[in-house]
Amino acid sequence: MHESIVKPRALKQGDTIKIIAPSSVTAALSNLPKAVEFLSKNGFKVSLSSSMHKMSATRYFSAGDHVRLMEIEEAFKDDKIDGILALRGGAGAVDLLNRIDYDVIKDHPKVFIGYSDLTFLQMAFMRKTNLLTFQGPMLVDLAEEDEAILKYNWETMMSIIQKKEMKVLKNPMESKWSKTITEGKAKGRLVGGNLSILALLANTAYMPSTEGSIVFMEDVDIEPWQIDNMLTSLVIKGIFRKANGLLFGEFPHYGVEESMGDSAANYLINDLLIEGYVESIISDIIYDIVTKRVKEMPSFMDFVCCHGKYITTLPIGAKVEIDATNRELTMLESAVE
């Protein structure tokens, strides 16, 4: 079972948010001033890390391991920093897990926001320090051009990390419909994040216990067979065995992969993908996979978050209840102090 979770202090107007880049840099650097300005207009001071404007000489990370590690630890240690926001995901955070001084995080709990590759850090922080973190919009997401979507993403996050609200979270009417897998309700601490990363972390020293929990999973640009393999791997490793419920986010597919085989049926699928039906096709296939793999407990899918346009902030480590029949998640406690 989980030990008592450590909640960070709620953010308030005038607080300083540190932007760190523990994974990759972004090609869309021209959009970042807009995102920084958005934070400033909403009452926060912004401190930028040097790695935002770098790229590792040898790999695709924002900077070398030493720089990225130092920036994480310094962001937590610095009393002038009140919250930490990731620039973006990508790749690279896994390299830091064996090097982080987790006592630094434990002694200086702060709001920590990100998703995708940041799942590595969030799971490690939860396992090593019991810190509650947030799967929510990153800096690149605050440059969103659709004002209605940006408003939803920002206000949902602020209601949780600033106003201390115990939210009922469900897809907004303007977004896609979620789907029930197995009806029913279940309570537990919310654990999880990116599916690919959870499959890598399972049964390591950096994966929190899923006993009595609600396990959350999402991903982007992966094929149905990969989802099948990773879910099956998690089943084999016993990750769902003592869980109380499952929450599946979105699995958007932003690129057409040429990895679906040579049969006539697969050519047809590729034609449909090109015509723009990728979302519904992938969603139906995933639904079929999930119902075969994890149908014993309350669960639903297509909850809008993370890699989708609508990014509903999720408090990883908080006590929640999922209602799979009505496809909503209720926070049973505030996520911040």
How confident is the model over 99-109, as a mean pLDDT? 98
Domain shared by 59 and 157, yes or no: yes
Q: Give the model's pLDDT for residue 77.
A: 97
Q: Please give the average per-residue pLDDT across 123-134, as a whole number.
A: 98
Give the domain-ending residue among 116, 146, 161.
161
Between 179 and 176, the higher pLDDT residue: 179
Q: How confident is the model at residue 127 (pLDDT cuts 50, 70, 90)?
A: very high
Mean pLDDT of the chain: 88
1 found inside a domain: no
Q: Are residues 282 and 318 in the same domain?
A: yes
Domain region containing 252: 168-331
Share of the chain above pLDDT 70, in %: 85
Q: Given a cut of 70, is residue 97 above it in pLDDT?
A: yes
Q: How far apart are CA 138 and CA 306, in angstroms?
A: 9
- In the chain, DSSP assigns E strands to 16-20, 45-48, 83-86, 111-114, 133-135, 168-169, 179-182, 185-194, 213-218, 245-248, 299-301, 314-316, 319-323, 328-331
Condensed to tens digits (0 to 9), the pLDDT of residues 139-167 reads: 999 999 999 999 999 999 999 999 999 99
pLDDT of 67: 83
Clarify whether residues 307 and 177 are in a common domain.
yes
* Residues sharing a CB contact under 8 Å with residue 257, sequence separation 6 or more, in sequence order: 221, 223
47 with 127, same domain: the answer is yes
- Identify whether 6 is part of a domain: no
Give me the pLDDT at residue 323, please: 98
Q: What is the pLDDT of residue 92?
A: 85
Segment 315-324, tens digit of pLDDT: 999 999 999 9
Give residue-wise pLDDT tens across range 247-295: 999 988 765 444 444 444 454 445 544 444 556 766 777 788 778 877 7
Q: Which of 141, 161, 181 corresponds to the end of one domain?
A: 161
Write out the two tokens for 33.
Answer: 């001033």
Same domain, 144 and 172: no
Nearest to 232 by CA among 294, 162, 173, 285: 294
- Name the least confident of 91-100, 270-279, 304-313: 270-279
Specify the 3-state DSSP secondary structure of 226: helix
- Structural domain contains residue 54: yes
- Secondary structure of 85-121 as H, E, C letters: EECCCCCCHHHHCCCCCHHHHHHCCCEEEECHHHHHH
Q: Are residues 49 and 151 in the same domain?
A: yes
Average the pLDDT over each of 47-51, 74-78, 201-205 and give the range with the smallest value.
Answer: 47-51
- CATH value at residue 309: 3.50.30.60
Last residue of a domain, one of 142, 161, 180: 161
**Which pLDDT belongs to residue 317?**
98
For residues 117 and 176, membership in a common domain is answered with: no
* Judgement on whether residues 114 and 197 belong to the same structural domain of the protein: no
Instruction: Please report which confidence band the pLDDT of residue 1 belongs to, taking 50, 70 and 90 as the band edges.
Output: very low
pLDDT of residue 223: 82
The number of folded domains in the chain is 2
Q: Does 2 reside within a domain?
A: no
> Do both 143 and 173 map to the same domain?
no
> Of the candidates 2, 21, 17, 325, which has an alpha carbon nearest to the alpha carbon of residue 180?
325
The verdict on residue 7 lying in a domain is no
Q: Is the domain of 148 the same as that of 178? A: no
Statement to judge: residues 51 and 200 lie in one domain: no
Per-residue pLDDT reduced to its tens digit, 51-74: 665 555 555 665 567 888 999 999
The predicted structure's pLDDT at residue 160: 98
CATH at residue 57: 3.40.50.10740
Check whether residue 299 and residue 275 sit in a common domain.
yes
Position 270 scores a pLDDT of 52
